[in-house]
Amino acid sequence: MALLLGIDTGGTYTDAVLFEEGRAPDPVVAKAKALTTRDDLAIGIDGAIGAVLDRAETDPTAIALCSLSTTLATNALVEGVRRRIALIFAGFDAADLERSGLAQALGTDPVIRIPGGFRATGEARAALDLDDLAARIDAVKDGVEAFAVVTIFGGRNPAHEIAIRDLIRARCDLPVTCGHDLSGELDGPRNALTCVLNARLIGTISALVASTRAALAARGIDAPLMIVRGDGSLVSADFAREKPIETILSGPAASLVGAAHLSGVPDAVISDIGGTTTDIAILRGGRPMLSETGATVGGHRTMISAVAMTTYGLGGDSEVHVDDRAFRAALTLGPRKLVPVSLLALDRPALVERTLAAQGRASRASETDARFVLPTPLPRPEGLRRIDHAVLDRIGDAPVAQDGLGLSRLEAAALGGLVGLGLVRIAGFTPSDAAHALGLHDAWHVPTAGAAAALLARRKDRRGKALAPDGETLARMVIDTLIRRSAQVLLDTALAHDGLDPLPAPLLDATLARGGGAARVDVGLALPLIGLGASAATYYPRIGAALRTGCRVPEHADVANAVGAVAGRVTLERAVRITSPSEGRYRAHLPEAARDFATLDAAKAAAREALADALSADAARAGADEPRLSWDYVEAAPVIEGRPLFIEATVTGRASGRPSLRRTD
């Protein structure tokens, strides 16, 4: 049977699995982990591949397929990391920029708003002035990394988007994302939001693909490279580089496929805890449910088909906040991911030990205790303010203790913006550090975790009382907070799935407290809980008990994403809408242009022919082996005065097949 290599590149760890199809009772031949090296992904990927090959004692040339799942795109959206892009917005009003969160997502990125686009029936609203547009493209191209192009009703007629795309490509080598390539839906601002996010992610996924290919080549692995999309299907790496937005929720989707394969449980609530996020979904009949409204990640509601996954900025590496303005100081977690301070200590032991010792001798605790600033190698983009440059200059090119920077409040706020731009990272105390301080984990520098916990315990509330009497108590408070918050988001997700509102905070507290009052509040999960992730066994048995349900952490739960990466299929979908601009005329909005036909049957036949050609080409680029086509047809034709009145129809085609393998015979 074929030997497959699954890789999952997460925010903290890169996992690798060697998987042999048909091998009983356990198809997992070997598994391994390596730390994700965000400044050079190839190092972590190569480390994981090398480790799993060593454990399996396998000849690399025997590997017939490599498949990759990743949380990098999801994490970038959750953490608010921005790459500067330009949006060309044709035919829309200025007010459209304020819809669907588009303006917020754009921030200060340039917008070129021009006449153009089409009506719902496919006729042009206004002509394009390409000469004027060329000058405006030239004015911004040197300050951005990619372009997003969206015209009004571009899904009904993509001609203007194609013309603008070709103009950009003639004037620069930057990537271009067109709205019609991502969605045929008619919500222009939300389509533009999806397009903007896709353009932002191209650099992230391109770097991942390049790093993975370099690592595979270095190990002598010559096999097709696939990437998991957000709906759990596989596509070739080159296909994914063009539409990286489709890899949001890639890691969670792979974990669902892996969970179904590993657990054998057909109906369950799946919760995957990583370093940055907790991803929750419902498994029914052994298959993940898909979102009907498009994936929502980091507060952005996109138009991308994906598993019906709820993603929370809650993970082992979530930032621990102390609300010392409350009457009794309280802990909150996330959504920002930090580099755990006990992990930083492995790389910079002298800096961390010296800093924590000095902070421990200070008479008062500080909000910057056990926090460090780590510069990244990304170049400074255009649009930075003077204060941003000043803070970066002060940081320099090596990790530094945050309290040593002497930042003012305005400069501290600027530092937060630089984190969002990916120019610096913050190291500090996280739940992972708390687990190390309590002896639950020991992979990183345990003494640093204990020292950092002791520093955090000294923080005071408004009454002047210390947060905890010692570091061990503080670490238990952090773990308890993670468990309580995890139970809350699981319950909220299950209630939302059932069409119910979240529990009010007092009822939530009562149901998780399990007694002690005059009334009993008994709410929990009706389905079993499957916990995934490297730290799942640490937390999820307690979470399942809090929610009054059975909890299972299957074998290989720590690498479920990597298992799911090689268990999927290539599945692609396209649709053509048919409208009727006048009686006896049927307009098929084909992939390249709209065409009119005298009969509905002729329009349907043309739609199927165009879709078959497009899907066959898509499937070839996506790496499918002998894909099969299937069809759906939906028609809106209400009966008026005894006669059907044709409004619209949609012809949907799907291509599905297993990925092509490198032949080893």
Give the tens place of pLDDT for each residue, 477-502: 999 999 999 999 999 999 988 888 88
Q: Is the pLDDT of residue 506 over 90?
A: no
Structure tokens at 340: 């755990």
CA atoms within a 13 Å half-sphere pointing along the CA-CB vector of 580: 18
Dist CA 122 CA 581 (whole Å): 9
Alpha helices (runs of H) in 67-158, residue ranges in sequence order: 72-78, 102-106, 130-140
Cβ neighbours of residue 426 under 8 Å, at least 6 residues apart? Answer: 319, 336, 338, 339, 371, 372, 373, 374, 402, 419
Confidence grade of residue 249 (pLDDT, cut at 50, 70, 90): confident
CA nearest to 199, candidates 111, 294, 319, 97 = 111
Q: What is the pLDDT of residues 515-564, one digit of tens each?
A: 666 777 788 899 999 999 888 989 999 999 989 999 999 888 888 888 88
Q: Is the pLDDT of residue 505 over 90?
A: no
pTM to 2 decimals? 0.70
Q: Crossing angle, helix 471-497 and helix 446-457, to 10 degrees? A: 90
Q: How far does Cα 213 stand from its chain's mean position?
A: 21
Q: What is the mean pLDDT of residues 200-219?
A: 87
| DSSP β-bridge partners for residue 639 | 644
DSSP H or E stretch at residue 47: helix 41-56
**Alpha carbon distances (Å) from 46 to 20, 408, 661:** 21, 41, 21
Q: Dihedral (C-alpha) 386, 387, 390, 391: value to the nearest 10 degrees?
A: -150
pLDDT score of 107: 87
Cβ neighbours of residue 166 under 8 Å, at least 6 residues apart? Answer: none
CA nearest to 431, candidates 79, 42, 58, 12 = 12
Q: What is the mean pLDDT of residues 502-523?
A: 77
pLDDT score of 63: 93
Q: Is the pLDDT of residue 652 over 90?
A: yes
Contact 380, 389 (CB under 8 A): yes
pLDDT score of 514: 66
Dist CA 29 CA 48 (whole Å): 14
Q: What is the pLDDT of residues 581-603, one digit of tens each?
A: 888 899 999 888 889 999 999 99
Q: What is the pLDDT of residues 334-353, one digit of tens each?
A: 888 999 999 999 999 999 99
Q: What is the mean pLDDT of residues 234-262?
A: 84
Residue 583 one-letter amino acid: E
Q: What is the mean pLDDT of residues 36-50?
A: 86
Q: What is the 3-state secondary structure (H, E, C) of 349-390?
A: HHHHHHHHHHHHHCCCCCCCCCCEEEECCCCCCCCCCHHHHH
Q: Crossing angle, helix 536-546 and helix 471-497, to 10 degrees? A: 60
Q: What is the pLDDT of residues 144-199, one digit of tens each?
A: 999 999 999 888 888 999 999 999 999 999 999 998 888 767 678 888 888 888 88
CA atoms within a 13 Å half-sphere pointing along the CA-CB vector of 461: 11
pLDDT score of 663: 52
Dist CA 615 CA 628 (whole Å): 10
Q: Is the pLDDT of residue 385 over 80?
A: yes
Burial grade of 527 (CB within 10 A; 0-12, 13-18, 19 or more): middle
**Of residues 662 and 431, which shows the higher confidence score?**
431
CA nearest to 563, candidates 258, 293, 282, 272 = 258
In the chain, the N- to C-terminal Cα span, in Å, equals 11
pLDDT score of 520: 77
DSSP H or E stretch at residue 68: strand 63-70
Q: Is the pLDDT of residue 664 over 50?
A: no
Q: What is the pLDDT of residues 65-122, one digit of tens each?
A: 999 988 777 777 766 667 889 999 999 988 888 888 888 888 889 999 999 998 887 8
Contact 250, 230 (CB under 8 A): yes
Q: What is the 3-state secondary structure (H, E, C) of 517-549?
A: CCCCCCCCCCCCEEEECCCHHHHHHHHHHHCCC
**Of residues 581 and 251, which shows the higher confidence score?**
581
Structure tokens at 665: 């015979």
**Angle at CA of residue 442, ends 437 and 445, nearest 5°:** 70
Q: How much is the mean pLDDT over the chain?
A: 88
Q: What is the pLDDT of residues 110-121, one digit of tens each?
A: 999 999 998 887
DSSP H or E stretch at residue 606: helix 600-622
Dist CA 192 CA 164 (whole Å): 15
Q: How far does Cα 429 stand from its chain's mean position?
A: 23
CA atoms within a 13 Å half-sphere pointing along the CA-CB vector of 661: 18
> Does residue 3 sit in helix, strand or coil?
strand
Cβ neighbours of residue 497 under 8 Å, at least 6 residues apart? Answer: 282, 308
Structure tokens at 578: 């048919």
Q: What is the pLDDT of residues 19-30, one digit of tens each?
A: 987 787 788 899
Contact 33, 22 (CB under 8 A): no
Cβ neighbours of residue 63 under 8 Å, at least 6 residues apart? Answer: 3, 4, 5, 18, 221, 223, 662
Residue 663 one-letter amino acid: R
Dist CA 182 CA 620 (whole Å): 18
Contact 6, 67 (CB under 8 A): yes
| DSSP β-bridge partners for residue 530 | 270, 552
Dist CA 410 CA 400 (whole Å): 19
Contact 574, 618 (CB under 8 A): yes
Would you list the domain boundaries of the chain? 320-330+337-469, 570-657
Cβ neighbours of residue 30 under 8 Å, at least 6 residues apart? Answer: 17, 18, 52, 53, 55, 56, 58
Alpha helices (runs of H) in 291-365, residue ranges in sequence order: 341-347, 349-361
Q: What is the pLDDT of residues 435-465, one digit of tens each?
A: 999 999 999 999 999 999 999 999 987 778 8
Contact 632, 574 (CB under 8 A): no
Percent of the chain's residues with pLDDT above 70:
96
